[in-house]
Structure formats: C-alpha cells, structure tokens
Chain A
C-alpha cells in the first residue's frame, strides 16, 4: 500500500512543468487516493445470524459507504407455493423464519382465513397469541445471545441460550417440536393445549422474569457495553419511516407504532399491554426496546392463558374449511419479532394459490444499512447490525 502512494507521488512530481517551481500541495493531496478501501465482511463471519455479506467502504477507521449483499438462501418460496394446495404450504411457512416459526405460519393462516371469509374460534386466537409471544421471546433471546458474541463476550450468549431452552420446552409441550413447529392450521390450531400447560407456562414466565435480570445486569451495568452501543447508528424518525424500517428498530427511534395495538388482529385488542418506545434512535435505544418487549410478552402470555382457561376445556379450537378458496385478493399483517410482516394472496378458485407474496421486515431493514452505518467506525458495525437482528430465512425466502 505504502509503495503505491510513493510511486504516485514521484510520478506526479516528475510530470510537473518546469515553469511552476512551487507545487500546489492542496491539489496534489486531492488527487491522491488516500486509504479508502472496500472491506468485505462475510459471507462467512463470526458475527453471525446467517449467510450474507456486508461490503463497507472505509476511510481509515470511518465507514463511508455500505452495501449489503443477500440472496445466498433464495429458494423461490413464492413460486413453489403456487404449486401446492393450501394446507401443504403451512410447513413451508415454518421455514421462512426458522427462529420464530409460528409467527409466519400464523400469518399465512390468517391470510387464507380472510380469503375464505371465516373467523377462527376464540380459543384458537388466544392460543395463537400465546404461541406468537413465546416465539417472540425465543427470537429476542437469540438476538440477545448474538449481541453478546458480536461485542466480544461469550458469557451472555450462553446465558441467553440457557433461558431460551425453557421456552423451547414450552414449544415442545405445545406441539411436539422445538423449531419448525407446524402447529397453526387454516381455521384454528392443530391441537388443544396439553395437560397442565397453564401451570408450566406460568412457571416459565415467572422464572424468566427473574432470570432475565442476570443477563441484563451483565450488559447494563457494564459501561463498556453501554458505551459501545450508545450514539451509534442514529436515525431520525422521518428517515426511519421513509426507509421502510419497522419493528423494534422503528420504535427505538421514537415512532410509536405497533401493529398489535394500532391494527389489531387475532384478539390482541382484548389484551392489555404497553408498547415501549424510546426517542434516542441509537443502538442502545433499540436494545432497550427489545428487552422491554420481552417483559411485556410475559405479561401478554399470562393474560392470554387466563382467557384460555376461562373458555374451558371443551371450547372448539379448529374449524373445518373447504379446500378451494374463492377468487379474490387478500392480505394480512402481523407484528413479527423483527418488524411488520405481511402476506398477500391472490386466489383463483382452485385449491392452489395464484400468487402468494411474503413481505419480510428484514429485507427492507437491511437495505437501509447504508444510512445506518454511515459515519461510524469499523468496530461499531457489528454492534449496529446486531440490532437489526438478521434472520436469513425470511430475507431471502
């Protein structure tokens, strides 16, 4: 590198005409390429969450440009869905976001139910609220684990994963699988909550509400963590809304919008919960929003469980649905742990969809990484991108 600069200098100096004895230093410096180089982070990198590349242009230590490259996991999900009958798409929807699989399946079932014009029974709706919130907790705990590793501390990773194991056990109790659960159905859910599920889930919630403070204490009480997260990746609310960023990243910037409260679906309007919103717009605010969301999820789970118990054991949890969906266009939105996800269905009267499109929140969030990373240092890039919480399955579909 240094050899190149020297040769350029001697080249330009040698070509100076003899009549101008004084060298114009400012012009010379402007012509020389100071150390701007493209650094490629990925596709294999320990700062994790999947297979994608982030190219950043660095001037010394400051980032001047960023370009994300995704698409390593593109499976043509939407095209495949056009050739399958509606119930067979449910396991496919699980694999969209494998960290929080029941949210996408729930979204898909909501869309098809809207197209059919049916309303699933109340018990199914409350059980799906519980399932959504359990998945939100799992996803946020995995995000917390990744925050630890990105900033250089392995202890937070293992402690967050330890807490996540309890929620995975809840998944297993509910539907038998830890990850790709295949639990919601068009018209309801697959099975009722098992024996003593309410006892287990209340125990889990109470344990979690105490145990999460260990992990948060390790992060919040350490000025190293806080100083690495504060004042980096700042965006204004207008910028955020315009760039299409949704979810905790948006609420950390000061925009008070949550689909569960403002555009309620599936009986969320019967549950009482708060939506955390912070104004600073930096990584630390986004982190705090997610932590607070975890605690709010516990609150939601307890209320929903009480309502399920009140409905009794014999309440219906699934409706029979016809296999052909009448022609029309419908869409449904859902508050994913990562943002606002949406599915758009065009049906043509047969038992296979004509067009099924998935809107993934991270696809749009990661397109804004240029504005997020502008002006920060290389060492801040993992901290900022950790707050976006990439999950490649839904980005690439």
Chain B
C-alpha cells in the first residue's frame, strides 16, 4: 500500500486541484471542511472520477452508496475514504439522476465494498446500476414489486 501520511490542512485543496485538472467542468466542488471534500459530479463521469480516486489518489475504501429521492429527480451519494496517502480524508460525491432514466454506472468493479450498498439502493429506490454483477433484492422479500423508500410510497398511517 502507499505510504501513510499524517494530516495536513493543505490536503483538501490538493485533492480539489488534482480532480479539477483531470476532469474540468464535470466536477463542481460545493464545500470543504477539515478532512472532508464535497463535490457534485456529472452522471457520465462518475465512474472515471471514482477510478481516478482509487488508482491515483489512493482512496481505497468506498464507505457508502446512498440513494436520495428529491421528488423531481433522484440522487446517488458516494462516500470514499482514504487509509494511506490522505489518511482520514473523506470525499463525498453527489450525482443527479433523472426520474425517467434512473441509470448510473456501477462502481462495484472498483471497490468490493460498494457491491451490497448498490444492491440495497436499487431495491429501495429503483436506481439501476449498470454493470453490477447481481442486482437482486437483499433486505426486502423477493415478491415486492415496488421500491419502498421512494417518497411516492407512503407507509400506512401517514397522510
């Protein structure tokens, strides 16, 4: 693994520079805190950004793939951690997905940790991850035909 470094406050700017220089306008940075970088990425560039993060910038750990239902569109949020070169740093990537075409390229070929997270996001929201080895229901029974966590699905007892 790459050499481990201790925290330095220049890291966030460093990461932002490297990503902008590679991807230009496909990635927009929305915020920055100690050990956190927040960015918004275009849908077609997300796989390349993730691959760049894993290979070049040694962000080895995909912590989370979250689905969000924003009613007019959907979003997928990725959290990616680094253990070595930028130890303790966490990058948050947000991708907008239109309602009529909910497809995103799967990153489970880069990180094995994204596998079940993507499967769960699919079964609860309906966002399809292209290239995922096995997109099947995991937590909910196989007979379900709807996506429970969408805002359009109301639980019993809600108005």
Contact = CB atoms under 8 A, between A and B. Distances in A.
Interface stretch (A121-129, A185-193, A240-248): A240-248
Contact of B140 (A71, A342, A359, A363): A71
A359 B113 CA distance: 12
Interface in B133-154: 137-141, 148-149
Interface string A55-80: 00000000000000011001010111
A278 to B, nearest CB: 16
A244 B88 contact: no
A257 B87 contact: yes
A242 B155 contact: no
Interface string A242-260: 1111100000000111000
Contacts, number: 89
A173 interface: no
A342 B87 contact: no
Given A244-B113, A257-B87, A346 B148 contact: no
B97 interface: no
Interface in B1-19: 1, 4, 7
- Judged by DSSP, the binding face of A is mixed
A342 B63 CA distance: 9
Interface in A223-246: 237-238, 241-246
The winner among A74, A256, A364 for most chain B CB atoms within 10 A is A364
B60 A238 contact: yes
B112 A368 contact: yes
Given A79-B148, A241-B83, A367-B115, A359 B64 contact: yes
Nearest to A333: B90
A242 B60 contact: yes
Given A80-B155, A241-B61, A367-B115, A344 B66 contact: yes
Contacts of A78: 149
A71 B66 CA distance: 18
- Judged by DSSP, the binding face of B is loop
B117 interface: yes
Contacts of A346: 68
A94 interface: no
Given A76-B155, A255-B83, A242 B113 contact: yes
Nearest to A255: B83
Contacts of A237: 1
Given A355-B68, A363-B116, A364-B116, A340 B63 contact: yes
B63 A244 contact: yes
A242 B112 contact: yes
A355 B113 CA distance: 22
Contact of A243 (B1, B113, B137, B141): B113
A396 interface: yes
A263 B35 contact: yes
Interface of A: 70-71, 74, 76, 78-80, 83, 237-238, 241-246, 255-257, 262-263, 331, 333, 340, 342, 344, 346, 355, 357, 359, 363-364, 367-368, 371, 396-397
26 contacts: A70-B138, A70-B139, A71-B137, A71-B141, A76-B148, A79-B149, A241-B61, A241-B83, A242-B111, A242-B113, A244-B63, A244-B111, A244-B113, A262-B7, A262-B88, A331-B79, A344-B66, A344-B77, A346-B68, A355-B69, A359-B63, A364-B116, A364-B117, A367-B112, A367-B116, A397-B139
Given A70-B139, A78-B149, A237-B1, 5 more contacts: A74-B140, A83-B155, A242-B60, A245-B113, A333-B90
